[in-house]
Every structure is written in C-alpha cells, then in structure tokens.
Amino acid sequence: MRFASCVFENREHLGVVEGEYVVDVLLALGFFERGDVPNERVATAARTIRTMGGPPADMIDLLARGEEYWNAVDVIAGAALTEAFPRESPSGLFTPLASARLRAPVPRPPKIVCVGLNYADHAREQGIEPPKEPLFFLKSSNTICGPGDPIRLPPNSTQVDYEAEFAVVMGKGGSRIPLDKAHEYVAGYMIVNDVSARDMQFGDKQWFRGKSCDTFAPCGPWIVTKDEVSDPHNLRISLTLNGVTMQDSNSSNLIFKVPHLISYLSQSLTWEPGDLISTGTPPGVGVFRKPPVFLKPGDTVSITVERLGTLTNPVVR
C-alpha cells in the first residue's frame, strides 16, 4: 500500500495510491456506507473499519490503527476505483496521480529523529572511522515540506547541502522494544532529503540549527507500507542535482540497521505513531566534493529510492 496526503479543491485529504489514481480514503469509506456493497470482501473490510473506530482523523491516526485496519482501507480504496469509477462518484474521490498535488505524508510528525554517519561508504569518503554506536540528532517539524515544494535557502547560509535518505515511519508507539520485535512497530518507509546548512552545522559544532531551517526536510512522495518492502537493507538510493547523479549507493551499506535503531533509542525514549527515523545518507554529499557543491536558486534535486519512488524539489532563495 501507498498512503499519501493530497490536496484537491483546496481540501487536504488522506489518499491511497491505486494504480494511476489517488483515492480519497474518507470519500471511499462514505461511498460504500451510502451505496451497495459489491461483495463480501468489501463488506468485511467496511465492518473492520467500523469496529476499529471508523474513519481515520489524520495520517497519524491511520498509521496507529495497524495492519488489519490498513488492509481494510486498501480493500475499500481498490473497490471504490473498480466499482465506483464507471458510475457517478463524488467529486474528488479519484485524483489522477499525474495531476495530484501531493503533500508531505506526515505533515506534523511528533519526532524527526536522524542518524549521522550511518553509511560505511559515507564514513570512508570523510576518512574517518565508522561510529561504534548510532549518532542521533533531531530536526524540528518546521522543516517538513512535500513533493514539489521549494527548498528555501536561508539568507544566513551560503553552504546548503543535500542528503538523500530513506526514513522509517513508526506505526505503533512503545519503549524498551526488544530487537526481535522492532519490526512490529514500523508502519512503512518513505524518502527524506536531510537538507543541511553546513556553515551553521560546523560553525555551531552541533547539528540542530543547521539541520532545522524551514523546508529542510522534504519528504514523500508517499508512505510505502512495510509489507511492500521485504528488505529495507537492500534498496538502491540515489540523488541527482539538475539531472547529474551525485549520490548512488545501497542501503546494504547501513552500519546500524533499522531494528537496531528502533530498539536502541527506545531504551531511553518512547516512540509514537508518526515518528520518523531518517536513517542516514550515503557518500556524494556536496560538502566533501572537490570543489564543494552547494545548492543554489534554480537547482532541482531528485532522490530515488528503490520501491519507494522519487522525490523532487526545486531550490529557491
């Protein structure tokens, strides 16, 4: 399943990407409440949704409901496309993916936890030893923006850099999670660009300010649920700047794998539904190139992660 946030006629809604369309979750649920249910499978899905609290309030609520609920929503969305599309249907029930205005899938995550130096090949390009334990830092929620939204260069930085990453989206809250249970807490995965003002980052000698400028966490284009990603540690990840490949690696190079990151940090904090764990960037970032390459107005940055899609953002002053 691919869950998205979409804008239609100035109304933001939850969507399930079905083929070439984004299906509005709330309208799809309402369609079968009002009309005929085509088969028992759809009827069962509708009952599941009703017994598990009804329609979701927002993306975080949807993620927190769990796999049984997600599967029921997927059944309803797919049935809406096949059963309702040939007939008269509510305006906005279907939005062609090619013209959909996608937003950040989780507009306001409770936490944006990032991992530094988590690719072995990224450590090698800096000539440093890989860390013995995960290095975590936070980005603030004002950094979140979506597909196609501009990365805005702040006036007090001249060294803004790109970082291709994939993020874990937490579906279930919890603390002190055993390593072998960590996967149960994952909802899915999506792309994140951990944009960084290097002059702030290195000048401050800590990372928060340089990582937390407005628009410095483009993400999306959607959340791919974990059942669609059999192994998050074998995904090709690449970034192009104005069509030129700058980063190209594989998540097999992660030093600390997803279950370790979840379990390790859960020993000291509680994960919440909708939390993001941005897992680190591979080599090829601008600051370590010779000469360095930093983002400038007019640039276009695209990140592609295998099975997760492509996230593209322009750069503006």
Which domains, ranges and CATH numbers included, belong to the chain?
2-101 (2.30.30.230), 106-316 (3.90.850.10)
**What pLDDT, on the 0 to 100 scale, is given for residue 34?**
60
Q: How confident is the model at residue 230 (pLDDT cuts 50, 70, 90)?
A: very high
CA distance 39 to 170: 33
Whether the pLDDT of residue 76 is over 70: the answer is yes
**What pLDDT, on the 0 to 100 scale, is given for residue 85?**
57
Computed over every residue of the chain, the mean pLDDT equals 93
Whether the pLDDT of residue 155 is over 80: the answer is yes
Whether the pLDDT of residue 316 is over 90: the answer is yes
Q: At what angle do helices 25-34 and 67-79 cross, to 10 degrees?
A: 70
| Cis before 221 (ω within 30) | yes
pLDDT tens string 250-305: 999 999 999 999 999 999 999 999 999 999 999 999 999 999 999 999 999 999 99
Beta-bridge partners for 19:
none
Whether the pLDDT of residue 43 is over 90: the answer is no
**What pLDDT, on the 0 to 100 scale, is given for residue 148?**
97
Identify the sign of the CA torsion 100, 103, 106, 112: positive
What residues contact residue 104 under an 8 Å CB cut-off, 6+ apart? 5, 144, 145, 146, 149, 218, 219, 220
Q: At what angle do helices 40-51 and 25-34 cross, to 10 degrees?
A: 110
